[in-house]
Structure 1
Amino acid sequence: MKNRYIPIITISVVLALVAAVGFLIPPAVQDAPTRVVLDNSGGRVIFNHLTHVDDYGLECSDCHHDDIGQDTPIACGNCHPAAFDKKFKAEHMKNFKSDEACLRCHDEKPTGPLSEEDRPDIESIPTRSEAFHKQCMSCHEDMGGPYGEDSCYECHAR
């Protein structure tokens, strides 16, 4: 009777050890995210980042600005908000590791509150949805991906 518990105990111990090792060993750091979820009013977009990099051969700089004083790409919403509201204006500077990024939009590195005439012209900076549409749609048009007014739901969830 006791012999039948030996395989159960052995399997349980092995599974517990595998679980402990899996928990203790940190996961490998990815060079790029597998996919990115973009929430928006037109319907959530699940952007398959890995496919665009591995299968289509795109480089980081094909989509991300590479001259903003950052070593690695940053979230698009750090510069291109859903809206240029008070919250974005007050908090966006926390999104950058270096103040070199300020020069993308500002003439000089800000040292304090800006007067109206020293603020960048936000009409020339696209919001997040405008930036995505310009970037994604122009590439889709050039590369033969879903493009045009009838292709919205190829990317946007209903």
Structure 2
Amino acid sequence: MKIEHLEERIIDYIESIKTVVDKKVHWNDLTKPLLHKTLKGITTQYEMGWRVQELNWIHNNEAINISFDSFPKDLIDCTNQIPAFQFIPGGALVFSQTYSGDVFIFILFPEIDSLPLENNITEIGLFNPTDINEKFIIEKVDEFLKEMIKWELPNKPKKLGFQQTTVKQEL
């Protein structure tokens, strides 16, 4: 192989870096502000004890999430009926920019000591920041709420404190 054969790979590599930069610029200039505005609008319109956070970590990784932070004010009275009731905060829908500039979307469930950590996350997918618009964000919040409802009201008794046992019948 001659050194000239590398030209195609070098061109491809330069294009890949340009693509990453374009995605990161789009995230910074358009996607991140849209996420913040849309999620903040949702929390304002529907006061359910959730909040929007903007996170920055590990140099250039950024994320915006909407998470359940406190018990919904409208339901405080119903908790008085069950004095031992304890709200478990922490469910979150996270939009996180990856090293490649794509946006990784996932759901974090509240942490419970008896629940293994591998059951604490549901991956929604990896998306180009140019694909994220207001309709897309609202659809992901809807998906998040459906998952949180399933988490709160599991239809299979193998979650959260239930032990699955087999009952043998004797004839």
TM-score normalised over the length of structure 2: 0.28
TM-score normalised over the length of structure 1: 0.30
Higher helix proportion (structure 1 or 2)? 1
More contact order relative to length (CA 8 Å, sep ≥ 6): 1
Larger Rg: 1
Higher strand proportion (structure 1 or 2)? 2
